[in-house]
Amino acid sequence: MKSFLGLVALAIVSLSTLGWAAEPDKDGFIQLFDGKSFDGWKINESPESWKIKDGAIVANGSRSHLFYVGDDKPFTNFEFRADVKTEPNSNGGIYFHTKFQPEGWPKYGFEAQVNNTQGDPKRTGSLYGVVDVLEKHVPDHEWYTETVIVKGKRIIVKINDKVVVDYTEPDDKVAGADFTRKIDKGTFALQAHDPGSTVHFKNIRVKRLD
């Protein structure tokens, strides 16, 4: 009986922990970040590169990736949105169709680039290494919304309400050896790129489309 009651108590605690994300909003989006903790997220290398400040996740430090692990069901077709703000000369990224790995640049999935003024010419909104955006669409120090929509073989990236990438994967697309960059399924990850880059993320939400 004690063992059973203990399991019940654990279940109640688990449900209360996930309660903030349990119900979709009026548009069908579920929040992935509670604004105050890393519950549902897992950091790989260099955990000191991540902190939470003023309700936002702040990436600053040596290479590290923060993976969403709060849902066991992989994301295939979805609309993902995050509010993002960059400091000058900052590089970052939002990965999707990826999976946790303990170190290194994520091999699996795609990266939606975050970079307004850093030296890499691939700017915010790029589907990195697949469709590269060279035009700057938003300034540093200003919150904007980065949206990624995946449905079937099509990927759309928006900066605020502007479509900057509309990519349809060819039927004969083959995954790369170092970085797959091929439509599949998986989770999301945020990137801390280097000690000179500071990127803020908040209001991270997703709506499944399948």
Question: Domain map of the chain by residue range?
Answer: 26-208
Domain 26-208: CATH architecture, name and number where available: Sandwich (2.60)
Contact 187, 100 (CB under 8 A): yes
CB 117 within 8 A of CB 140: yes
Please report the pLDDT score of residue 20 as a whole number.
Answer: 46
Beta bridge partners of 191: 65, 93
pLDDT of residue 164: 98
Average pLDDT for consecutive 10-residue bins of the chain (210 residues)?
A: 40 39 85 97 98 98 98 97 98 98 98 98 98 98 98 98 98 96 98 98 96
Instruction: Look at the pTM and tell me if it is higher than 0.85.
Output: yes
- Model pLDDT, residue 210: 79
**Distance separating alpha carbons of residues 61 and 44, to the nearest angstrom:** 13
pLDDT score at 23: 86
The pLDDT of residue 159: 98
Q: What is the structure's pLDDT at 22? A: 55
Partners of 185 in the β-ladder: none
Where does the chain have alpha helices with state H?
A: 2-18
Q: Which two tokens stand for residue 76?
A: 């295939």
Q: Give the DSSP per-residue string, 61-107.
A: SSSEEEEE-S-SSPB-SEEEEEEEEE-TT-EEEEEEEE---SSSS--
